[in-house]
Amino acid sequence: MSTIAFVYPGQGAQRPGMGRALYERYSPARDAFALADDVLGLDTKTLCFETEEAVLARTEHAQVALFVVSMAAHRVLLSFGLAPAAVAGFSLGECTALCAAGFLTWEDGLRLVRARARAMQRAADDRGGAMAAVLGLTWDTVEAICREAGGGARAVNDNAPGQAVIAGAPDAVADVGRRCREAGAVKVVPLALSAAFHTPDMARAAETLRAAAADLTVHPPRLPLYTNVTGVRLPDDIDLPAHMAAQMCSPVRWQGCVRSLAAAGADTFVEVGEGRTLLGLIKRIDRTRRLLPTTAPTDIEALRALAPGGA
């Protein structure tokens, strides 16, 4: 029998129309959208299904939309009797994982994501910044190049072997990118983000999120959650406000999360929500794992066989 981990995507996976097919086919998905509308006072169907790409890409919109679609897909899977043994999420996706694991209710998760998205959008508008993916160098090498450059750019995402992301002021990111190419990077790809996420530039936003998280009720978890901050299991008695503040300013140790899940016995990874970005990264980290998406109803239906008593 498979040991299943659910993983939840972060910002960048959004696309216009996402979640529509799930909404139209499955009542638990419609219930999820209705809950989000009620809690947030938004028309989340319009946000996800009809918003043009440039508007949806704004942090304040993308994070809410992605959370709602992941919540909808998660609830559909649970309605089949398919539940994970453990969970993790990439950056924003860790908020989804907190709800899936039971640390937060879905209602409080929606409130947390709205506060996070707004705080990060303000940081992007006020401070600006740039991010770029570095392909072909190890995480340690990219970290060392950032330190040697001394311009404030930092390694912020340990995505997979040979794939890291850097962030900082645009000039500093450009300088580190040049140094990475000189050190043998195959490619340095600017990302469509105008902020230095997961760096100390997010400190003010992190304090805003800390205050928002302090108003939420934290519950004993039902499932283990593997966190971006350390790449290992999040303690059950976590100080959630402090953790969320740290998570906003710390590197995303995704490779560590995946390796920890695999070491704990996860042999099947299901990306719950929009896209297959995380599955692509997991394939680079460990090719022995089974990888399954949930973007389309055909993907969802293929997962029924993994549920107890599934066909």
Among 61, 70, 74, 91, which one carries the catalytic annotation? Answer: 91
Alpha carbon 52 to its chain's center: 21
Give yes or no for residue 1 having a pLDDT over 70. Answer: no
CA distance linking residue 5 with residue 225, whole number of Å: 10
Is 2 an active-site residue?
no
Tell me the CB-side half-sphere exposure of residue 218, using CA atoms within 13 A: 16
Helix axes 254-263, 277-285, angle to 10 degrees: 70
Closest CA to 72 of 98, 100, 38, 53: 100
The pLDDT value recorded for residue 134 is 98
The pLDDT value recorded for residue 300 is 93
CA distance linking residue 91 with residue 94, whole number of Å: 6
Question: How confident is the model over 44-67, as pLDDT tens digits?
Answer: 999 999 999 999 999 999 999 999
Q: Are 215 and 62 in contact, with CB atoms under 8 Å apart?
A: no
The pLDDT value recorded for residue 310 is 66
The pLDDT value recorded for residue 219 is 98
pLDDT, averaged across the chain: 96
Averaged pLDDT, 134-160: 97
The pLDDT value recorded for residue 192 is 87
The pLDDT value recorded for residue 204 is 95
Question: How confident is the model over 156-185, as pLDDT tens digits?
Answer: 999 999 999 999 999 999 999 999 999 999
Is 260 an active-site residue?
no
Check: pTM over 0.95? Answer yes or no: yes
Averaged pLDDT, 81-102: 97
The pLDDT value recorded for residue 256 is 98
Give yes or no for residue 142 having a pLDDT over 70. Answer: yes
- Residue 307 — pLDDT band, cuts 50, 70, 90? confident
User: Under the phi-then-psi rule, with left for phi > 0, alpha for psi from -120 to 50, and beta for the rest, what region is 16?
Assistant: beta
Q: Please provide the distance, in angstroms rounded to a whole number, between the alpha carbons at the two ends of the chain.
A: 14
The pLDDT value recorded for residue 308 is 82
Q: How far is CA 74 from CA 2, 101, 272, 303, in A?
A: 18, 11, 6, 12
Among 61, 74, 198, 243, which one carries the catalytic annotation? Answer: 198
How much is the CA Rg of the chain, to the nearest whole Å?
A: 19
Q: Are 265 and 286 in contact, with CB atoms under 8 Å apart?
A: no
The pLDDT value recorded for residue 85 is 97
Give yes or no for residue 311 having a pLDDT over 90. Answer: no
The pLDDT value recorded for residue 306 is 86
Indicate the length of the chain as a whole number: 311
Closest CA to 294 of 96, 47, 82, 77: 77
- Residue 2 — pLDDT band, cuts 50, 70, 90? confident
The pLDDT value recorded for residue 17 is 97
Output the 3-class SS for 146-188: HHHHCCCCEEEEEEECCEEEEEECHHHHHHHHHHHHHCCCCEE
CA distance linking residue 59 with residue 195, whole number of Å: 10
CA distance linking residue 259 with residue 133, whole number of Å: 21
Q: Which domains does the chain have, with CATH numbers?
A: 4-126+199-306 (3.40.366.10), 129-190 (3.30.70.250)
Give yes or no for residue 309 having a pLDDT over 90. Answer: no
Question: How confident is the model over 3-48, as pLDDT tens digits?
Answer: 999 999 999 999 999 999 999 999 999 999 999 999 999 999 999 9
Element (H, E) at 89: strand 86-89
Element (H, E) at 130: strand 130-135
